[in-house]
Structure 1
Amino acid sequence: MLNKRISLIALGMLSATQAMANDQAEAKGFVEDSSLKVLLRNAYINRDYKDGNPDRSEWGQAAIGTFSSGFTQGTVGVGVDAFGLYALNLERSEDRSGAQGIDFFKKGDSGNPANDLSKGGAAVKFRLSSTTLTYGDQMPELPVLSYDNSRLLPESYTGTLITSKEIKGLVLNAGRFTAESRKSAEGRDSGGLKSINVLGGSYQFTEQFKAAVYASDVEDVLKKQYVNANYVLPIDKDQSLTLDFNGYRTKLDNSYVRENGITGDDNKIWSLAATFATGPHSFTIAHQRSTGDSNLGYAYGGYQKDQGRVGDGGNTIYLANSYWSDFNAEDERSWQLGYGLDFSAFGIPGLSYNVAYVRGDNITTSTSEGGTEREIFNQFKYVVQSGPAKDLSVKLRSSILRVSQKSSEYNVSGNELRVFVDYPINIF
């Protein structure tokens, strides 16, 4: 049914050439508007697990090349996007690799992680007015299908995506993807995805208010809906209050529930964050709540080749209280206090600091109720502002996560450290 709706709305998008915007009329040409970029990334994640669980860590060096052409001139513009990825394993430890949440290099049948991996992809794109149709390998960023780029290499998906911006402030998306490339493995369908249909859009009602609605259907797994409302209230020249609401509803397919031994099939999760910004300081208060009868809580991401996973992208969790823990267990309620500081006001442009404390309670598992977890998150980030290393960024991130014994079926305690060095190079 959703697939049929996507086809209908795609026709509507492509026929809207008389609307306000017309990006294709300003096309500069296939070569003239093309770009080639390379991102060099050195990434390290260490997890010091507690309660007798073995520690895990992975370290790697990656090169991520992306090419994006311009569109040919004329009524219908044609272009190409492509990427090439390479990663070198700098740790190569059979004992320390293999944590699901790190996943730099997938372990093979021998039990050893890969020494290196490489892959690439390409997509052809067509533009009519301000509507673009892209077919091939892509990295979608939608609330119901958002690729993971928070590890060493990014995920990618193969399929079709239509993006329409015919009306000022309105962005519409419709797509169907039939393969997923795991971030830690080679191959176009290394994630085992059958198919996922996506549909939705966002609208900027005023300069201060924006809203979005999206839906997805992961074949034989689940159906998901998402809603967002974001309002920015200007208070003074350098002061503002931002209110951000995000919510998901997921319904698991009956066959998926039976095959994976899941209890229940329904989950609703939402978060509301209020951020007060004044000069270089920002203060955040957030509440997040999960309800429903599914013992998975809010299900997202992972790979269908791994039992009990979804396959809709590792960043498909547009919620306030997602750090190391996502605070997304069955019946969980969580609260956050956060603070951010921009050091440019103190003569150090490019340096920022963020800290957050999140506490969750009321966690339900198959054996207990009323479990708790808490996390302290810290992050320093510095971006070089000028010189040969301009735009090079260094990110140091740590989390201290403690989970009660009642919640051990859902999550595990530990200390996490992440060190990421990213150096983007614009070739042309």
Structure 2
Amino acid sequence: MGSNTNYNSIYGIQMTKYKLSAIALALMTSAPALAASQADSNGFVEDSSLDLFLRNAYMNRDYYDGRADSTEWGQGAVLTFNSGFTQGKVGFGVDAFGMYGYRLDSGRGRAGNGGIDFFMVDRELIDPANPAAGSRITDVERDMAHAGAAVKARFSKTVLSYGDQRPVLPVLSHDDSRLLPEAYTGTMITSNEIDGLTVHAGRFHAQHRKSDEGRDSGELNSIEVLGGSYQFNDNIRTALYASDVEDVLKRQYANLNYIRPLNEGDTLTLDFSGYRTKQDKKWDGAGDRNNLWSLSANYATGPHDFTLAYQRSSGDTGYNYGFYQNEGAVGDGGTTIWVANSFWSDFNQEDERSWQLGYGLDFTQFGIPGLSYNIAYIRGTDIDLGANGTGTEREIFNQFKYVVQSGAAKDMSVRLRSSVLRVSNNFRNAERNHHQDGNEVRIFIDFPMNIL
């Protein structure tokens, strides 16, 4: 739930998936105008870059259903090398990364609960301090390391890459919402040959978990993706994508985004995002279907922005995404739910309807550039609980974010986020839809550095 994150969202530490549709798709659709052509290549070394990304991350979830709270704190580092392309009609290059995470605090029953998932919990052990009572502690990895690389070739404005990659697509979005990101192994083609159009096609056969070592620690069979985004003009963009997770599900996604400039620099942004999912009978035994869509309006004026959003889930089941097949779930990335009401809860249960009221404030005009605040209230109703009737849930989301503007720590960001999630008693206790509520706190300090 609410994994959130590649950290470019308006709201957050997690990359709120609706914001991905409005932000990431904007980046994708603007790519043709900026896409480098092979004819412009300066060389393998000349166009290369080396970046270091440091993240200190803390998460705590205090549950209200009788379970112990869950806490993890760690320090992560990601070193990324992206080469340029060799000169010639077809250029060749290499992208590589290395990741390392060190556990600063967790264990003794506080790690591995409720999806925090910074470090893998291998097993539970009897507490040696109190063996007679049968108290149990969790055996959590002390650290984690992973490295990967992909080779790439470019012809004109089309790039073919094979190897370890971190896709950011509405039907396959790697999870970067915890300490370290996921990665996938496979082939991807990205083409910008037509002005305004970006096309992706790929097949991945392995998934590296964000909390565990091993190239296929996610035990993915395979996932195929196909689609594209198109920028009609400065105001309108759209996207269509589809995916097929082998023996699990098939999914389609559509997005339409419209930005209308108003007087005195104000803007009104309308965004529609929707998924249609057909689950495989080999996976769920029934071939259930789900439709999930959201419609949002954002009005920005001066330092303020206001958001109103409606989201609807319908069909035979809720929207399933992310996690890992060996845990009975999908394997298409923990942030593959680009809709408006995705926070700690994703408000994506069977037949759920949800509304959001959001507000954002940029403190630049008040003499504090780099500081922003966001708050949102989301309420979901009509959740189908079978014999237990219908359930409800509600969440209050808050986040302060500060980005250092100058000096040695320029671009370092600090995010303090809290969520209060409450669900109805019948939703919390329903056998087939057991849900959780409680309070969540996240503190993330991110420091991106360009080395070359």
Q: Which residue of 2 aligns with 1:59?
A: 73
Deviation sequence 1:317-375 (CA, Å, 0-9, x none): 10000000000000000000000111111111111111000000000124423200000
Alignment match of 1:306 (pick from 327, 350, 354): 327
Letter in 2 for 1:336: Q
Q: Which residue of 1 aligns with 2:168?
A: 141
Alignment match of 2:51 (pick from 12, 29, 37): 37
Are 2:101 and 1:81 equivalent residues in the alignment?
A: no
Are 2:310 and 1:290 equivalent residues in the alignment?
A: no
CA contact (8 A) 1:329 1:410 kept: no
Q: Distance in 1 between matches of 2:195 and 2:263?
A: 27
Letter in 1 for 2:327: D
Secondary structure of 1:305's partner? Answer: helix
Deviation sequence 1:300-332 (CA, Å, 0-9, x none): 10011112x100001101000000000000000
Q: Distance in 2 between matches of 1:138 and 1:75?
A: 24
Measured after TM superposition, the shift of residue 238 of structure 1 is: 1.6
CA contact (8 A) 1:365 1:410 kept: no
Measured after TM superposition, the shift of residue 21 of structure 1 is: 7.7
Secondary structure of 1:90's partner? Answer: strand
Q: Distance in 1 between matches of 2:158 and 2:252?
A: 24
CA contact (8 A) 1:264 1:293 kept: no
Q: Which runs of 4+ in 1 moved over 3 A?
A: none
Q: Distance in 1 between matches of 2:386 and 2:115?
A: 22
CA contact (8 A) 2:71 2:106 kept: no
Alignment match of 2:376 (pick from 356, 378, 383): 356
Could you say which structure has the greater relative contact order, defined with CA pairs below 8 angstroms and 6 or more residues apart? 2
User: Please, which moves more after superposition, 208-217 or 407-416?
Assistant: 407-416
Alignment match of 1:180 (pick from 207, 210, 215): 207
Evaluate the alpha carbon distance shift between residue 293 and residue 37 of structure 1 in structure 2; reply closer, same or farther with a 3 A threshold: same
Letter in 1 for 2:292: I
Letter in 2 for 1:414: G
Alignment match of 1:403 (pick from 404, 423, 427): 423
Q: Distance in 1 between matches of 2:183 and 2:382?
A: 36
Counterparts in 2 of 1:155-174, with a 5 A limit?
155-174=182-201
Q: Distance in 1 between matches of 2:175 and 2:106?
A: 22
Letter in 2 for 1:162: I
Letter in 2 for 1:341: L
Are 2:346 and 1:319 equivalent residues in the alignment?
A: no
Deviation sequence 1:72-115 (CA, Å, 0-9, x none): 11100111000100000111313000124210001114541100
Letter in 1 for 2:360: G
Q: Distance in 2 between matches of 1:276 and 1:221?
A: 39
Secondary structure of 2:337's partner? Answer: coil
TM-score w.r.t. structure 1 length? 0.92
| Number of corresponding residues | 402
Evaluate the alpha carbon distance shift between residue 165 and residue 372 of structure 1 in structure 2; reply closer, same or farther with a 3 A threshold: same
Q: Distance in 1 between matches of 2:121 and 2:213?
A: 12
Q: Which residue of 1 aligns with 2:223?
A: 196
Q: Which residue of 1 aligns with 2:250?
A: 223
CA contact (8 A) 1:92 1:114 kept: no
CA contact (8 A) 1:21 1:167 kept: no
Q: Distance in 2 between matches of 1:158 and 1:30?
A: 23
Measured after TM superposition, the shift of residue 22 of structure 1 is: 6.7
Secondary structure of 2:388's partner? Answer: coil
Are 2:443 and 1:427 equivalent residues in the alignment?
A: no
TM-score w.r.t. structure 2 length? 0.87
Q: Distance in 2 between matches of 1:364 and 1:337?
A: 23
Q: Distance in 1 between matches of 2:190 and 2:334?
A: 21
Q: Which residue of 2 aligns with 1:97?
A: 111
Deviation sequence 1:153-188 (CA, Å, 0-9, x none): 000000000000001110000000000000000000
CA contact (8 A) 1:25 1:129 kept: yes
Root-mean-square deviation (CA, aligned residues, Å) is 1.3
Q: Distance in 2 between matches of 1:92 and 1:224?
A: 36
Q: Distance in 2 between matches of 1:200 and 1:351?
A: 36
Letter in 2 for 1:423: F
Counterparts in 2 of 1:348-387, with a 5 A limit?
348-387=368-407
User: Please, which moves more after superposition, 337-346 or 366-375?
Assistant: 366-375
Measured after TM superposition, the shift of residue 410 of structure 1 is: 4.2
CA contact (8 A) 1:102 1:151 kept: yes
Secondary structure of 1:86's partner? Answer: strand
Secondary structure of 1:112's partner? Answer: strand
CA contact (8 A) 2:152 2:162 kept: yes
Measured after TM superposition, the shift of residue 224 of structure 1 is: 0.2
Are 2:352 and 1:328 equivalent residues in the alignment?
A: no
Evaluate the alpha carbon distance shift between residue 21 and residue 283 of structure 1 in structure 2; reply closer, same or farther with a 3 A threshold: closer
Q: Which residue of 1 aligns with 2:272?
A: 245
Letter in 2 for 1:248: Y
CA contact (8 A) 1:21 1:166 kept: no
Q: Which residue of 2 aligns with 1:418?
A: 442
User: Please, which moves more after superposition, 195-204 or 368-377?
Assistant: 368-377
Q: Which residue of 2 aligns with 1:254?
A: 281
Q: Which residue of 2 aligns with 1:393?
A: 413
Letter in 1 for 2:422: R
Q: Which runs of 5+ in 1 are unaligned?
A: 1-19
Evaluate the alpha carbon distance shift between residue 240 and residue 47 of structure 1 in structure 2; reply closer, same or farther with a 3 A threshold: same
Deviation sequence 1:183-203 (CA, Å, 0-9, x none): 000000000100000000000
Q: Distance in 1 between matches of 2:266 and 2:165?
A: 38
Measured after TM superposition, the shift of residue 237 of structure 1 is: 3.1
Letter in 2 for 1:149: D
Deviation sequence 1:91-144 (CA, Å, 0-9, x none): 131300012421000111454110001010000010000000010000000000
Q: Which residue of 1 aligns with 2:233?
A: 206
Q: Distance in 1 between matches of 2:336 and 2:150?
A: 22
Alignment match of 1:276 (pick from 299, 318, 322): 299
Q: Distance in 2 between matches of 1:99 and 1:106?
A: 11
Secondary structure of 2:325's partner? Answer: coil
CA contact (8 A) 1:56 1:99 kept: yes
